[in-house]
């Protein structure tokens, strides 16, 4: 599934990991020496942060390598979600570092040690700032090209390190030229940035692991391809399951006239599934829903229901309108009412009751059963 795209992810993940290991370890050694000789807790903590970044680069390198492993008997959907696990590890490490940074910074505000920073130390930190700035733009470009949350997390971490460097430079300059000790206060500000980035990033990646609705652009592309096949007159109930980057499996219901032959219907469905795979790399399975297109009463009911929904609940939809035999009322109208997630039970009951009342006024000769369900496509 998208072999060339997966190979590209491997290459980019490896590049980011190797570069991160080399540069972050060099920055660690450089800043550790500056911190020790200057007596700055902020610079020492920044050095430890770079060592942590080097370790995270090792995690990135290993994670992308494992995520690129092909599907096997135990993991038929591949190993792509390991990328998200890599992102979580990096995010948690940033949170832990932020908490530790707050603790050490408060301690140094209460009992500030002496500082002795020279021009050479400040120049080294300025050089470190530009190295981290380059790493930010480099990893951000890689992340955007392969749509990787893990690499974007690495990029954001480099961006945060730029802020940390600015703070540590300001701390040394204030101590060296103005006799002001702001080391601990700078440390607290930096740690808050770390905590915010770690928590927000972890939340976003956990969303991937728990499962998110299909984005609107992907949904519209799938529906457009399916609807382009002869005989398919409508779609609904699209669900997209993600098993990592470029590893999507989807299902959808396709409506076709009930007088079409089974062979023709099967041909259209096969063509739609193949087209989605070739154009989007998504393994799609289609469920056929036969539609009685020549039943005027059913068509009028469908139109009236959708008109009501357009007025009262624009994000809702109704489909699968059909009559079935019913011992109690002779025949029964059944259809599915699709609602956006978050719709309250009281709202659902009100919508269902209103539809039944409206349809019952003009069509009293049948019972009505409305099955409710929720959409698996993002609203925006």
**CATH number of the domain within which 56 lies:** 1.20.1510.10
Mean pLDDT, residues 150-177 taken together = 84
Mean pLDDT, residues 200-209 taken together = 82
Of 257, 274, 291, which marks where a domain is finished?
Answer: 291
Question: Residues 56, 90: contact at Cβ < 8 Å?
Answer: yes
Same domain for 240 and 357, yes or no, is no
Same domain for 78 and 223, yes or no, is no
Same domain for 240 and 334, yes or no, is no
Looking at the structure of the chain, the number of domains it has is 3
Of 154, 176, 210, which marks where a domain is finished?
Answer: 210
**CATH number of the domain within which 323 lies:** 3.30.70.1350
Residues of the chain with pLDDT > 90: what percent? 29
Same domain for 275 and 341, yes or no, is no
Same domain for 31 and 101, yes or no, is yes
Same domain for 135 and 247, yes or no, is no
182: left (phi over 0), alpha (psi -120 to 50) or beta: alpha
The token pair that represents 217 in the structure block = 């652009």
Sheet holding 248-257, edge to edge: 234-242, 248-257, 282-291
Same domain for 44 and 123, yes or no, is yes
pLDDT value, residue 265: 94
Q: pLDDT-derived band of residue 254, with 50, 70 and 90 as boundaries? A: very high
Same domain for 192 and 306, yes or no, is no
- pLDDT of residue 4 exceeding 60: no
State the Cα–Cα distance between residues 183 and 105, nearest whole angstrom: 8
The token pair that represents 121 in the structure block = 């130390």
- pLDDT of residue 80 exceeding 80: no
Of 291, 319, 348, which marks where a domain is finished?
Answer: 291
Same domain for 227 and 299, yes or no, is no
Same domain for 144 and 257, yes or no, is no
Same domain for 63 and 154, yes or no, is yes
pLDDT value, residue 1: 44
Same domain for 246 and 348, yes or no, is no
Domain that holds residue 150: 3-210
């Amino acid at each position: 599934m998208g072999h060339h795209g997966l190979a590209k992810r491997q290459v980019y993940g490896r590049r980011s990991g190797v570069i991160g290991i080399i540069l972050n370890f060099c920055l660690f050694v450089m800043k550790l020496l500056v911190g020790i000789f200057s007596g700055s807790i902020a610079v020492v903590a920044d050095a430890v942060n770079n060592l942590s970044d080097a370790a995270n680069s090792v995690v990135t390198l290993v994670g992308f390598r494992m995520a690129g492993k092909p599907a096997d008997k135990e993991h038929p959907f591949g190993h792509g979600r390991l990328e998200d696990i890599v992102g979580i590890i990096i995010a948690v490490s940033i949170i832990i570092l932020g908490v530790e940074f707050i603790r050490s910074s408060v301690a140094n505000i209460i009992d500030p040690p002496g500082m002795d920073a020279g021009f050479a130390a400040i120049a080294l930190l300025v050089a470190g700032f530009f190295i981290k700035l380059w790493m930010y733009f480099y990893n951000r470009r890689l992340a955007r090209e392969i749509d990787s949350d893990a690499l974007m997390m690495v990029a954001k971490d480099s961006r945060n390190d730029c802020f940390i460097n600015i703070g540590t430079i300001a701390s040394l300059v204030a101590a060296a030229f103005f006799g002001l000790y702001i080391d601990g206060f700078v440390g607290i500000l930096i740690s808050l940035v770390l905590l915010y980035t770690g928590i927000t990033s972890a939340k976003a990646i956990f969303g991937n692991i728990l499962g998110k609705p299909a984005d609107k652009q992907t949904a519209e592309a799938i529906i457009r391809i399916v609807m382009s096949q002869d005989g398919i007159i409508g779609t609904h109930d699209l669900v997209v399951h993600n098993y990592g980057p470029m590893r999507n499996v989807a299902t959808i219901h396709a409506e076709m006239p009930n007088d079409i032959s089974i062979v023709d219907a099967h041909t259209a469905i096969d063509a739609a599934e193949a087209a989605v795979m070739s154009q989007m790399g998504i393994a799609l399975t289609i469920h056929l829903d036969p539609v009685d297109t020549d039943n005027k009463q059913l068509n009028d009911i469908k139109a009236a229901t959708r008109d009501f929904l357009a007025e009262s609940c624009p994000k809702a939809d109704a489909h699968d309108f059909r009559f079935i035999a019913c011992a109690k009322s002779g025949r029964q109208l059944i259809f599915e009412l699709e609602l956006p997630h978050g719709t309250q039970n009281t709202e659902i009951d009100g919508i269902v009751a209103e539809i039944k009342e409206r349809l019952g006024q003009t069509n009293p000769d049948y019972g009505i059963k409305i099955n409710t369900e929720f959409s698996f496509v993002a609203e925006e």
